Chains A and B, each alone.
Chain A
Amino acid sequence: MRHEILNKKSWIARVRQDRYLLLLVLPCVLYYLIFKYGPMLGIVIAFKDYNLHRGIWDSPWVGFKWFNHFMNSRDFWPVLKNTFVLGFMKLLFGFPAPIILALLINEVRHAFFRRFVQTVSYLPHFISNVIVAGIMTMFLSPRNGIINELISFLGFDRINFLVEESWFRSIYVSSEIWQHLGWSTIIYLAALSTIDIQQYEAARLDGANRWQTTWNITMPGIAPTALIILILDIGKVLEIGFEKVYLLATPAVYSKADIISTYVYRVGLSEGKYSYATAIDLFTGMISIIFIISANWASRRINGNSLW
């Protein structure tokens, strides 16, 4: 009893004591409430036949109509499969790439060169997708693209990359890696800098070579970071941006390039079917939540590291 009172009192006291800190965090909380949680209420239009003029509340309820529509549509399975395969490939190749680059940059001893490589490698992150798609189209052109010039110089047949469906996924994934590799490396470099230098010195005294210190000190040092990134990335497998896929796809590769977001654009947004688009997005969001929860659970079971 006495303990409880003390606790209660201390709670108020703690608020009083930390009032300035709480005040500092307030804008951030408000930001999330207003811009992230508030708009979530808009999800109701997934269950309504939303009409812009009538507004959200006066539009009629339609239950799960849009979800049924989507799941019974002929495009449902192909689109889901394409999204999943593309996302999974991106994860498979995109996840290890920044770790490798970070390790390589970390081994560079020349400070200027190191910073130079770092800067150059993360610049593409700031180029818009429209430009990247334009660059890709030009590089891959079968007429005068630099890649095809190289291929024909080496004596092979030119490849019409953008209309061959077998090439689409490789092109997309490699351009994604090129664009975001350097940027994702930053967090690993930060993790690397937290490793205690004394550990390296001790290892070197014990006669460990570079490979051994990398394997036994560096890797365990960044493992927790890598794991968290991996869990977050797994949650994003189905969230593939619309822009670049849309810009790189030609009708000839629809069977590989039509993903959930391009479908939403084509059938939902460009036709003004906001309810349908919202329903599909909600559906994708649910799957992403399942992914991230299972990844988190698995990670906690295996080695105790997890997001929550």
Chain B
Amino acid sequence: MRNKSVISKVLLVFAMVLAITACSTQKSNTSSSETSNSGTSSTSSTKSENNPKVTLDMMVFQHPSWPYKEDWAIYKYYEEKLGIKFKVTAPPSDYDTALNLAFAGDTPDIMIVSNLAQANTYGSSGALLNFFDHLDKLPNYSKFLEDHPKVKSAILSADGKNYYLPHYGLEQTSRRSWTYRDDIFKKNNLKAPTTWDEMYKAAKELKKLYPDSYPIAIYDNLTGLTNIAAGFGTWYGPYVDYEKDEWRYGPTEDSFKEMLRYLNLFYKEGLIPPDFMAMKRDQFNDLLAQDKAFIANDYIGVIDEVPVIIQRTDDFSLDYMTPPIGGNNGKPYNAYDGLLNRGMAVAADTKNLDTVLKYVDFLYSPEGIELATYGREGETYYQKDGARRFNDEYVNFATLRKSTGIATYGSHLVVDMKAYSYMSSDKFNKAMEKIQNGNEAPLQPRLAYTDAENETLTMKNAEINKYRDEQIAKFILGQRDLSTWDQYVSEIQKLGLDEVMKINEDAYRRAQSFLK
């Protein structure tokens, strides 16, 4: 009797386990049947076009606002044009881990890498293709690099090889800039400040008019300093001074100290939010939405985006503000990162080398850029008064990307940004023009380090950056007095700054020698 009940319990558990596994097998069954379905349909279409097709595995990073869709038109155009089909994997989250796993197992033919350093690490361990070995099959890419020497200097490995194909075009919209509430300024007869002294005066005035405001909005720890430093003629980290052709460390320069003096003053007088370091984008948007901030330091896209996000499109205006000049070395500059961090890479052991090279080279060719930018006439765009307009249902750039896959990772390397400018406001387009004409600090080089250099940099930078950020924060908050600046500088030097700077300098000279 007792035995029986034990058996029945065991059976019950087994039944449950079976039920669960049955559920999961059923699931996997359906998914496999789906894939096989799509497989058969594609073979049938192959037959109908009489065009031998190669399928390439591609792993892409997907933006949450325009996630990868299998039926994106752009890939259909490539299939018809080049006879290349893509099997795209788009990990829903934690791309780097997914990519690492891909390297450990089946590496896809083409993949998006997160940055140059990652490409170089995998490249030097033999996992990625060195494109310079195949330039004979990449005529359009070669020409692109010839036409853009600055880009070429930012894509090399420490030994002058190239495992990383750059994206070109989209970086235009990810520019940092100063913006201001031109409507509020006009209403109160104020002029946009052009120096930090004028900025102080304007902020004081605004604080008087709107007592519970914090006129200048910066947020998210110290990230705002990157752009502010450029206006003071310095840099939030190591940088190359092109005029003197020497490497310098911004955070120990007098210009940097001058910047901290201003920020400390602004903090003390309540002209920047007291919790700017703990603030995230939401709180930043709130400040703008509630008319509690009037000058903002952020990405240039906020000019068009913020009014929509805060739902005040009719009584709210942000406009471009020329970067205020700070101190004696100051220039009206914003900081600019140049190229997007992500690039494209190809597995060294790809079985479809010729097809892969054909595809990536096509993406750099005039015809490929055209197709990647616009799609196909009559399907994604139409002609209107001699200009090309995307279909009306694509109300903005984001919708276009989301619906067609145009200008997403994997489907392009170069796009012509002029094609999309009519979708932005005039204000935004004018701002883009101004920022590119004299309001931008010279582009800093993107360096490639050897393994040994990387190891030293990781250890030293960890200590230097922690100390630097902690002290900079304290200077701004007034927890440390600026009269102790020299002590701070010598402390940073003690942490091995010279060594770090020498590595940067060496890497820079090395990269230049490859370009000659």
For A273, the chain B residues whose CB sits under 8 A away are 458
Q: Which residues of B contact A55 (CB under 8 A)?
A: 104
Closest to A136 in B: B278
In the bound complex, do residue A142 and residue B469 qualify as a contact, i.e. CB atoms below 8 Å apart? no
Collect the chain A residues with CB atoms within 8 Å of residue B126's CB: 53
* Residue in contact with A69 in the complex, picked from B104, B278, B459, CB distance below 8 Å: B459
A271 to B7, CA, bound (A): 54
> Which of chain A's residues have a CB closer than 8 A to the CB of B472?
251
Q: Does residue B34 face the partner (Cβ distance < 8 Å to A)?
A: no
What's the minimum C-beta distance from A262 to chain B, rounded to whole angstroms? 10
* B462 contacts A251, C-beta separation under 8 Å: no
Contact B469 A53 (CB under 8 A): no
Tell whether A73 pairs with B463 under 8 Å between CB atoms, given A20-B7, A53-B125, A267-B458: yes
A162–B222 CB distance below 8 A? no
Chain A residues near B387 (CB-CB < 8 A): none
Of the candidate stretches B324-332, B473-481, B482-490, the one touching chain A is: B473-481
Instruction: Return the contact of A20 from the options B10, B118, B222, B277 (Cβ within 8 A).
Output: B10
Shortest distance in angstroms between B275's beta carbon and chain A's nearest beta carbon?
Answer: 5
A285 to B315, CA, bound (A): 58
Bound-complex Cα distance A215 to B318 (A): 66
Question: Is A254 in contact with B121, judged by CB distance below 8 angstroms?
Answer: no
B103 near A163: Cβ-Cβ < 8 Å? no
- Is A16 part of the binding interface, using a Cβ–Cβ cutoff of 8 Å? no
Measured between alpha carbons, how far is A211 from B123 in the docked complex, in Å? 72
Check if B390 is an interface residue, CB within 8 A of chain A: no
Contact yes or no, A254 B463, CB < 8 A: no
- Apart from the given pairs A137-B280, A252-B477, A254-B466, 18 other A-B contacts in the complex at a CB distance below 8 Å: A24-B13, A52-B100, A52-B122, A53-B126, A54-B125, A73-B462, A73-B463, A142-B275, A143-B275, A160-B275, A163-B275, A163-B278, A250-B473, A252-B474, A255-B470, A266-B462, A267-B459, A271-B462
Q: Tell me the complex Cα distance, A51–B126, Å.
A: 11
In the bound complex, CA of A296 to CA of B273 (Å): 50
Question: How long is the Cα–Cα vector from A267 to B127 in the complex, in angstroms?
Answer: 25
Which of the listed residues B127, B222, B278, B283 has the most CB atoms from chain A within 10 Å of its own CB?
Answer: B278
The range of chain A's interface size is 35 or more
Interface residues of B (CB under 8 A from A): 6-7, 9-10, 13, 100, 103-104, 118, 121-122, 125-127, 214, 221-222, 273-275, 277-278, 280, 283, 458-459, 462-463, 466, 469-470, 472-474, 477, 479, 495
Q: Are B10 and A24 in contact, CB atoms less than 8 angstroms apart?
A: yes
Question: Across the interface, which residues of B come within 8 angstroms of A24, CB to CB?
Answer: 10, 13
Query: Within the complex, what minimum Cβ distance (angstroms) separates B121 from chain A?
Result: 7
Chain A hits for B222, CB < 8 A: 251
**A162 with B278, Cβ < 8 A, contacts A53-B126, A251-B221 known:** yes
| Cross-chain pairs A/B with CB under 8 angstroms, 24 sampled | A20-B9, A20-B10, A23-B10, A24-B13, A53-B103, A55-B104, A69-B459, A73-B462, A140-B278, A141-B283, A142-B274, A143-B274, A143-B275, A158-B274, A160-B477, A162-B277, A163-B275, A163-B277, A251-B277, A251-B470, A252-B479, A254-B469, A255-B470, A273-B458
Q: Which of A52, A163, A252 has the most CB atoms of chain B within a 10 A radius of its CB?
A: A252
User: Between A and B, how many residue pairs show CB distances below 8 Å?
Assistant: 90
Identify which of A20, A53, A266 gathers the most chain B CB atoms within 10 Å of its CB.
Answer: A53
Q: Is B100's CB under 8 angstroms from A258's CB?
A: no
Q: A267 CA to B462 CA in the complex, in Å?
A: 6
Contact B104 A52 (CB under 8 A): yes
Partner of A75, one of B273, B275, B462: B462
1/0 contact string of A139-152 vs chain B (CB within 8 Å): 01111000000000
Select from chain A the residue with minimum beta-carbon distance to B127.
A53
Query: What does the 1/0 interface line of A250-274 toward B look like (CB < 8 Å)?
Result: 1110110010000100110001110
Say if the beta carbon of A21 comes within 8 Å of chain B. yes
**Residue among B118, B466, B474 making CB contact with A258, cutoff 8 Å:** B466
A141 touches B275 (CB 8 A): yes
A45: min CB distance to chain B, Å: 13
User: Within 8 Å CB of A75, what residues of B?
Assistant: 462-463, 466
Tell me, in angstroms, the Cα distance from A75 to B463 when the chains sit together: 7
A75, A163, A272: residue with the most chain B Cβ atoms closer than 10 Å: A163
Q: In the complex, A69→B458 CA distance in Å?
A: 12
Q: Is the CB of A162 within 8 A of B470?
A: no
Q: Which 4 A-B pairs have the closest CB atoms?
A: A252-B473, A251-B469, A250-B277, A251-B473
Q: How far is the CA of A2 from the CA of B99 in the complex (A)?
A: 63
**Is residue A110 contacting chain B, with contact meaning CB distance below 8 A?**
no
**A17 → chain B, closest Cβ, in Å?**
9
Cβ contact within 8 Å between A73 and B277: no
Given known A53-B103, A271-B458, contact A143–B125 (CB-CB < 8 A): no
CA of A35 to CA of B167 in the docked complex: distance in angstroms?
Answer: 41
A20–B277 Cα distance when bound, in Å, is 60
- Within the assembled complex, what's the spacing in Å between the Cα atoms of A36 and B462? 32
Looking at the assembled complex, report how far the CB atom of B77 sits from the nearest CB atom of chain A, in whole angstroms. Answer: 34
Of the candidates B7, B103, B221, B278, the one whose C-beta lies within 8 Å of that of A137 is B278
Residues facing B in A107-144 (CB within 8 A) are 134, 137, 140-143
The answer, yes or no, to whether A74 is at the interface (CB within 8 Å) is: yes
Contacts of A20 in B (CB 8 A): 6-7, 9-10
A267 partner residues in chain B, CB cutoff 8 A: 458-459, 462
A74 touches B275 (CB 8 A): no
What residues of A have a CB within 8 angstroms of the CB of B104 in the complex? 52-53, 55
**Nearest Cβ in chain A — how far from B56, in angstroms?**
21
